[in-house]
Amino acid sequence: MVFHIPWIYTPVRTILAIWHQLTKTEIPELTRVSVMMRERSRVEDTMYAMQKAGAGSLQVISDFDMTLTKFAHKGKRVPTTHNILNNRLLIDDDSTVKMKKLFNTYYPIEIDASLNPEEKLPYMVEWWTKVHDLLIQQRIRKDELARAVRDSNAVLREGCSAFFDCLAEQRVPLLIFSAGVGDILEEVIRQNHVFHPNVHIISNYMDFDHTGVLQAFKGQLIHSYNKRAGALSHGATLRELHGQPNVLLLGDSLGDLSMADGVSTAQNILTVGFLNDQVEERKESFLNSFDIVLLRDETMDVPNAILRFIVSSEISKVHREK
């Protein structure tokens, strides 16, 4: 009796692809309705390549505001690092009104899907410059920042602490690339007890005088649409991570996609975009730009699942050695 096996004549490459599909590890978090991918096969191939290389080849580059922090919590917008400074402890009522007016003017431009980054850029420079000038005029004291953070409604995404802890345990560098205020950002993660030694930060830092009063902002201005220039200008910091050619990039803006441009040795880059606001208007542009798009997801479930998958071989190795 002769049995015909139709796939026996199939090219080896096709058989390997079939075997890959049959033996792949399913990640339940990627099947949620809030998760969208234009090229699922590319995502899976990139994840397998990163897993094969192991945790020692991985680095994470992430935005902060509305990426590691929530967009909204209990029906209210979560403050950005700039908005945390909008506190009566730090600025007067007149400046509070002015900052709100600036937000209402420029935020719609920042997320306008009909404008390209080049068109948005001058408006972002105007916005950030005006806000920083306002803050400098208020003579904010350095010793009041910790209290302002404690009094704020800043909330990290659910599962964010586990994300930070896993990266630290696996010695995976985390580069936080933020257009926010670095001093406030540091205080938020410090108060959440996740400021581990593997965390590196590029952001807008305050410059205080000898009495501890804000007098300026240090270095080059970083806003949401000039992170490529920021990445290239901080190339030395990124070169320190040259031994980690695989990048997991997290952001909530198309401008965040350029954060890894300073990584000259990058081999595999997997991008995850949190689409928090004006979802329908911006969905197409996000799908065309990010590998994975998360719709109104206030958790770190998907990044945590991806991270666990990539480092799973390292975790298994530790268990075997115990």
One-letter amino acid at 186 equals: E
CA 169 from chain centre, in angstroms, equals: 19
How far is it, in rounded angstroms, from Cα 82 to Cα 103?
11
Going by their DSSP bridges, the two strands 72-73 and 174-181 should be labelled as unpaired
Tell me which residues are annotated as active site: 63, 65
How far is it, in rounded angstroms, from Cα 186 to Cα 321?
36
Reading across the β-sheet that carries 268-275, which strands appear in turn? 35-36, 292-295, 268-275, 246-251, 58-62, 174-181, 199-204
Tokens matching residue 8: 């026996």
How far is it, in rounded angstroms, from Cα 196 to Cα 263?
22
